[in-house]
Structure 1
């Protein structure tokens, strides 16, 4: 399925329909703001109405007034959206039914004039069933061949009302919507023309229920952009567009097969045929959790005991749901798997479908349009299995938010109980009133609503719904009441399997109602709606049941979600997890899809797939699928992410590549890491290193200042005589009359020394910028600093006595100055990078994460201190060689002298010996100090020598720390040349 073509179709269709509807509203007398002059309103007359000096039917008057009232209620823009989507979904659905042989070709052209078949047949006397008033209007219109659009509007509206699938899935078309059928709907290039001659959607696409989801996702994509562009709280009617996103099918299959499929296999271990079909099923082998003191894999493992399984007596008892179902993609996959289970157990096709709809599968979404599409997609699947479902006699159980509140109970419950002769004497009405009172905000809260309903009350609700379904008398009178009952029942069910792609929305975008509710009810997940749903899923899953989700990976690492992780680690079991690179949903921030069993197991283990690299690299989602499938086929598969480009056609195995498959990971190990990050790739040896004192025992990592740009300048904008460099305390700052102080403000990836370009106004101890102060007690110290924001590796640098630090250039005050170089070396080591990646997978290296790096102080740190001092000196000489350094002295070519020449000769002899093992003697020629070419050659050699010395030192530092932490089997000391952070301006090229 070419989703790019489908996207183009959906967005073009939306714009064409909206423009046509806007033009139609104008012809009906409304201006662009939805206002209408009094003289442009129709007048009701006996037997008809008068509008625009023309005689219209009486029905036109009521349609027009209905449109007027709707515009006053919702606003003209919302009416544009409603009408455009009404015609989009119904006409697309008709085309899909046709392509699946479930209806006649009513939209097809009968002639070269683009007369739709439905109009052509009406002209020949074959008129579909409709109200008599409409029939009379139509008959009058049929006498005029120029009014084909008006004829089509009546006919297609009546056809939609008469077709069981369209009517029951999408409901009745509002009476005013017929008026808003665009005048150009049948024109060349109009929407019907697009449907009939689309080059965007193939016949194969039309056979796939997945098409519906993609059409909807792309249809609302521009609306989503509009919502995000406003940059504020999302109102209730904006939440669907802002939060809905379509999940790639292979990830849906992974989630469904490892929840619903796994539950079935646990109860039917000898089933083999279905296992072969479920290609994304993950097999967990024996779990190995080693004692915390073990640093090698020869220790005796603790074998994971078999987890408890769900017991059910028949398939009808298996409860499966998606409580934020969108357009139904996950529900469709659940349907397919459940259908296969029924057929495998000998059920007939029709019986299997009815059982799934009546007993097994539940969907909920707060967006009515999405609910309609879910029902349509599932009913289409049912018809593909058994054409008898074309009469829509059995509908999927997909719910949306009811229109009700506590007054619904007060006004109608008594009447309902009497009408159905129910014995509800002992029912706690307060429980129901509270539940219905909560549902007044259902359009903002959706499926996260928690109802405090007793089991006795719940059984009465089941009784009420069954009575209503058996005899749906007074349908409209009790519809809102029953809709509320159905939702309460669905949201108080304990599901055996929940599978979801929950909505994504940060706390800052939540409206007041939603924000307060999640803070009051979902403490562990409150920072994002996606994690609120994850917390909710654990609560709604039955004991030993399973739930699966796909959300951004921030829940795995950020301190914000530590409570959520702890609850999962302590009370549930992570069965498997896909850690995905960017690209699953386009230019996202990565994704994670997990399958979690609601079973508390001290020895729980999981299987993890690391389909990601730290560099936030973006992958085509089809390539992520390829990586996953190749790893499933070969658990030893490795891939070199650094070689990836989006135009590759294959992803070959690379011995130098990244490991992807991590089986038998004991989740209790996560608790040994501060903050409990899901650091599944961290070895046992690294985990045990957390038993040591942390960085905050030896130093104080902290935030810097936030003075604002008005108080900052580049140092070259200020006279050197006005920069204070000698202050070491607040007392001295108060006495100094100099205004400007050296200031570190983050900067590029650079280790050891550099990124010194700013000064800050801190006159008299910062009397102007006190509000931005963070940790004044450690100001003016010789702190280590680093750039907080970085998309790649961490890099630390020495500070400067008398300097101040920005919030983006955090600072680390080392308590004992004798440990200064050791701490700096550790921070720039591979070991520290591994720990930081475990703690965070975001763009930020925050002080709280630095504070948790384990520190092992080697008794003999002389060699490390020596290497660090050399690295600082080399990096400083590189920084000072440029005019952007305030310690710049002279151009480097002028600095070349005889000493440089002799040092270069020694370097060449040593280099030759290292490469060949041969000792050579180079007789120095007379230095050519007057030759620019000679100076340039010496300059290149000098900086190659410094660069390679820095590279050698960094690898030796890594070797030292690897030995100190006992990680010889885990890490190598190698440092790629492109990670050496001098010569960043391309002065010379080091191959």
Structure 2
């Protein structure tokens, strides 16, 4: 766990880098004819810059109709993307995963090792320091793109511009102030994500009246969940499910709170089938916490699998995350890759290589702006009516995903759409009527349908990339995010873990919530609770850190009386109060809910464990929580502070 002084250093480094990069990107946009007030005519821009200008124009248009706002957004996200990449490379360097590319050393002539090696092969670069620096970066980007395409995608709209050599050198110099012990901590990327918007968050709070804009939502909700709360939630959800269905397990859960619940999983759960979702994943801290526990489960259940193969299996099969902010998705994907890769390095055998098919992190930052390209894209699916309908409905459902995100209510309609797609010709025998030699068509698995659509999307993007048709490329990237979002939100999960946004919702999201979440729409986080329950399997868990107002405000009465009585019953509640998240001013609660799978259980007979930690400051809450657990252990875990749930 990083100390306060270490976190303050990260904050200082991140904010200084942001200032350098935003000033540089602002200057570059002016060179290409995009001033802060207007777009200058093409004939006033030098001829050699027109091709890139067209790409930038398409990228800024994607950010929205208001030019000034779109330009500011574009500068901000270009800066954040470049900083994320540099930070990812630097952390990978410190972990020994790639050749040093960012850090410079005197023994290499004040260059990085990768630059030195490139110079040995291309001596002509000695007179072209800018070419050398960015050629080394591009080489490192391609290496990392194999594992984190979300962050290192060559078609990313925020990588069209590259900063000047002067700005890049300044960023390298500032990043070098972070010592190796900080860079080796996976939580560093989470703090970097939070601190990037620190000053902006303060300004938003000062000016905000009523509902926030979509751009305001990420900054005002970027708070890194502290490690002990993550551990509490992970142990009392995924860990508890495992011990319940594997009583012989040797898994140690020192943050497990004893309960007397009669809710049970209907069948034994296999580790390869466990699915964990964070629908507001931010920097991925809950998923990182789940990784450690899942690794032990894989080792326990599958001793025949070499440990070095397990990290990739966890990322491919067990962990899923969604965030409305692309920058958050980039950070989460980066953190999970570093976690999996360093675990692989600990256990690898001679001759083995790290292989990763995918990271299941999805951004809902989707902006469809071109009807003509949509029609062209849909024409690829004219060969099958049902498949085209799935694609059409995906694009329609995700038109406002950048505001609604994980709150999209799409599972039930898309379940029917996926089930309606049948194989051509005749499928398996209908055994009931086999004597009549009648057959029924076989449904095509959802997974195959999604893969087929994604393959078509990538072909679409590949063709556009050859002609540098950026508008079509951006449409394709958004289409892939849309089908991935539908895929994730039309599934069920054994555990849904989250620290969702709170407070007022953006206008379109508010309107959507009133229609689809009539019981819980009064606060952002309570709407997320209802959606999390809906995404959870019977017998599974929701674990969350949210505001505590759901326990007593009248506006949340339907959540208590309906969702928490009949859909998912509370098991453990930590009443935390203030001083929970760095710089956050709200009062919080951490809790677990159990999705009902036995309709005969009466909520009034279901015990809930409450622990009041409101009187303690910051880390004192953790200390007191651990003391309570020790006390429960000392009493044979008989005294469990049980009480009935109050509405």
> C-alpha displacement at 1:64, in angstroms?
4.2
Count of matched residue pairs:
575
What residue is the counterpart of 2:258 in the other structure? 283
What residue is the counterpart of 1:307 in the other structure? 263
Cα distance per residue 1:902-945 (max 9 Å; x no partner): xxxxxxxxxxxxxxxxxxxxxxxxxxxxxxxxxxxxxxxxxxxx
Report the 3-state secondary structure (helix = DSSP H, G, I; strand = E; otherwise coil) of the residue aligned with 1:525.
coil
Structure 1 residue 400 and structure 2 residue 381: aligned?
A: no
More helix by share: 2
What residue is the counterpart of 1:16 in the other structure? 20
RCO (CA 8 Å, sep 6+): is it higher in 1 or 2?
2
What residue is the counterpart of 1:663 in the other structure? 641
1:33-44 correspondence runs (5 A):
33=37, 35-36=39-40, 40-43=44-47
RMSD: 3.2
Cα distance per residue 1:464-492 (max 9 Å; x no partner): 12446789872527765554333222112
> C-alpha displacement at 1:530, in angstroms?
0.6
Cα distance per residue 1:6-37 (max 9 Å; x no partner): 22222222123223333444566654436547
For residue 83 of structure 1, the aligned residue among 67, 78, 87 is 78
1:695-844 correspondence runs (5 A):
none
Cα distance between partner residues in 2 of 1:202 and 1:310: 49
Structure 1 residue 450 and structure 2 residue 409: aligned?
A: yes
1:154-173 correspondence runs (5 A):
154-163=135-144, 164-165=146-147, 167=149, 169-172=151-154
Cα distance between partner residues in 2 of 1:413 and 1:247: 41
> C-alpha displacement at 1:635, in angstroms?
4.4
CA change 1:121–1:569 in 2 (3 A) is: closer
Structure 1 residue 370 and structure 2 residue 345: aligned?
A: no
What residue is the counterpart of 2:282 in the other structure? 326
Structure 1 residue 123 and structure 2 residue 86: aligned?
A: no
Cα distance between partner residues in 1 of 2:223 and 2:122: 43
> C-alpha displacement at 1:66, in angstroms?
3.0
What residue is the counterpart of 1:885 in the other structure? none
- Does the CA contact (< 8 Å) of 1:323 and 1:447 recur in 2? yes
Cα distance per residue 1:776-803 (max 9 Å; x no partner): xxxxxxxxxxxxxxxxxxxxxxxxxxxx
> C-alpha displacement at 1:503, in angstroms?
1.2
Task: Identify which range, 565-574 or 409-418, moves more after superposition.
Answer: 409-418
TM-score (norm 2): 0.80
Structure 1 residue 543 and structure 2 residue 538: aligned?
A: yes
- Does the CA contact (< 8 Å) of 1:102 and 1:390 recur in 2? no
- Does the CA contact (< 8 Å) of 1:499 and 1:549 recur in 2? yes
Cα distance per residue 1:161-190 (max 9 Å; x no partner): 343335454312658846441443355xx2
Cα distance between partner residues in 2 of 1:354 and 1:393: 5
CA change 1:274–1:470 in 2 (3 A) is: farther
Structure 1 residue 204 and structure 2 residue 200: aligned?
A: no
1:88-167 correspondence runs (5 A):
88-111=83-106, 114-126=110-122, 142=125, 144=127, 148-149=129-130, 151-163=132-144, 164-165=146-147, 167=149
Structure 1 residue 415 and structure 2 residue 417: aligned?
A: no
1:22-37 correspondence runs (5 A):
22-25=26-29, 31-33=35-37, 35-36=39-40
CA change 1:177–1:349 in 2 (3 A) is: same
- Does the CA contact (< 8 Å) of 1:404 and 1:484 recur in 2? no
> C-alpha displacement at 1:237, in angstroms?
3.2
What residue is the counterpart of 1:532 in the other structure? 527
- Does the CA contact (< 8 Å) of 2:33 and 2:42 recur in 1? no
Cα distance between partner residues in 1 of 2:539 and 2:380: 41
TM-score (norm 1): 0.54
CA change 1:110–1:40 in 2 (3 A) is: farther
Report the 3-state secondary structure (helix = DSSP H, G, I; strand = E; otherwise coil) of the residue aligned with 2:400.
helix
Cα distance between partner residues in 2 of 1:473 and 1:570: 45
Cα distance between partner residues in 1 of 2:311 and 2:502: 32
Greater C-alpha Rg: 1
- Does the CA contact (< 8 Å) of 2:295 and 2:310 recur in 1? yes
Structure 1 residue 574 and structure 2 residue 570: aligned?
A: yes
Cα distance between partner residues in 2 of 1:406 and 1:432: 16
Task: Identify which range, 95-104 or 309-318, moves more after superposition.
Answer: 309-318
CA change 1:358–1:470 in 2 (3 A) is: farther
Structure 2 residue ranges without an equivalent (≥5):
64-69, 422-445, 463-475
For residue 10 of structure 2, the aligned residue among 6, 28, 31 is 6
For residue 266 of structure 1, the aligned residue among 244, 254, 257 is 244
- Does the CA contact (< 8 Å) of 2:277 and 2:321 recur in 1? yes
> C-alpha displacement at 1:582, in angstroms?
0.5
